[in-house]
Amino acid sequence: MAFYRDNAETYAARDRQPPTDRLAAFIARLSPGAAVLDLGCGGGHDSLHLIEAGLEVTPCDGSAELARAAERRIGRKVEIVTFQDIERSQRFDAIWAEASLLHVPRTELPDVLVRVHRALRPGGLLQASFKAGEREGHDRFGRYFNYPSAAWLRTCFEWAGWSNIHIEEADGGGYDNQPTRWLHVTATADHATPRSGLLPSCARRRTLRASVSTIDRKMKGPRVQEDCTARSNCRFARLLPVSLNPIRFKDKNLRPFKVRQRRLRV
């Protein structure tokens, strides 16, 4: 979060074009006036597009500085909330999470996906995007990314109770101007209560730790060498053994940025 705290104005004011094709496909699946959560709205570019399409948009971001910048762009309140603090229940018809859930630590992603699932009404739609990889790490700006493979990511979504999971892979770029392999995910919340959704927090943490280990065991296979040309020359485009073990980075220079936060409640 330190990067977004220190560079919020520059990041929000950059010349970014919303992903109009994916936004159009997302909007086409919703009813007029549908309630949409823009999860990790950043500078508010996509929120503005969704608002102009006639949807009832609730934008939120974990960075107070980015939230203020987004408010100036879209002219409405932006909630300050982290992924781990999402507590709304069956409030939204759809959630747009463009390049946001890719910052969730691997060990916390299954639990966050449960929280996101619970925020949707039955049949609700999620659109999310991730930078592809095989192990978590940081980019040259010091930003954390979970860098999942498509198979690892699908297993996380399945564990969290999502249905109709579709993952599309595409080459593109990002804020760092590096070639990037993207994973664009669509999924639906077809059940009212996702896996472990009713467990108390202490039991959920135990279940989460067990689930990450289970996902890792399920995905672990023979170690192979990757062809770096297939990785689009991104940061991890090196000949490395595939490892799906969650890794806890201990970078003391990248401590979470603490802001006053308000939990989203029913």
Query: Per-residue pLDDT averaged across 206-235, rounded?
Result: 47
pLDDT digits (tens, 9 = 90+) for 79-137: 999 999 999 999 999 999 999 999 999 999 999 999 999 999 999 999 999 999 999 99
CB 82 within 8 A of CB 261: yes
Pick from 160, 109, 107: which is nearest to 130 by CA?
Answer: 109
CATH of 2-231, one of 3.40.1010.10, 3.90.1150.10, 3.40.50.150, 3.10.20.440: 3.40.50.150
- Higher pLDDT among residues 11 and 155, named by residue: 155
- Higher pLDDT among residues 253 and 135, named by residue: 135
Indicate whether 240 pLDDT > 50.
no
Supply the DSSP symbol for 102.
G
Assign 174 a pLDDT band (cuts: 50, 70, 90). Answer: confident
Indicate whether 246 pLDDT > 70.
no
- In 92-200, where does DSSP find H-type helix? 109-119, 150-159
- Taking the C-alpha atoms of residue 223 and residue 256, their distance in angstroms, rounded to an integer, is 33
- Residue 21 CB neighbours (<10 A): 8
- Identify each DSSP E strand in 107-148 by its residue range: 120-131, 137-138, 144-145
- Structure-block tokens of residue 66: 């980015």
- Taking the C-alpha atoms of residue 115 and residue 242, their distance in angstroms, rounded to an integer, is 29
Assign 231 a pLDDT band (cuts: 50, 70, 90). Answer: very low
- Domain positions in the chain are 2-231
Supply the DSSP symbol for 74.
H
| Terminal Cα-to-Cα distance of the chain (whole angstroms) | 26
- Taking the C-alpha atoms of residue 169 and residue 181, their distance in angstroms, rounded to an integer, is 7
pLDDT digits (tens, 9 = 90+) for 32-82: 999 999 999 999 999 999 999 999 999 999 999 999 999 999 999 999 999
CB 43 within 8 A of CB 13: yes
CB 239 within 8 A of CB 225: yes
CB 39 within 8 A of CB 88: no
Indicate whether 258 pLDDT > 90.
no
- Taking the C-alpha atoms of residue 80 and residue 51, their distance in angstroms, rounded to an integer, is 19
Residues 6+ apart with CB under 8 A from 206: none
Q: What is the pLDDT of residue 105?
A: 97
- Residue 221 CB neighbours (<10 A): 9
162: left (phi over 0), alpha (psi -120 to 50) or beta: beta
- In 14-60, where does DSSP find H-type helix? 20-28, 45-52
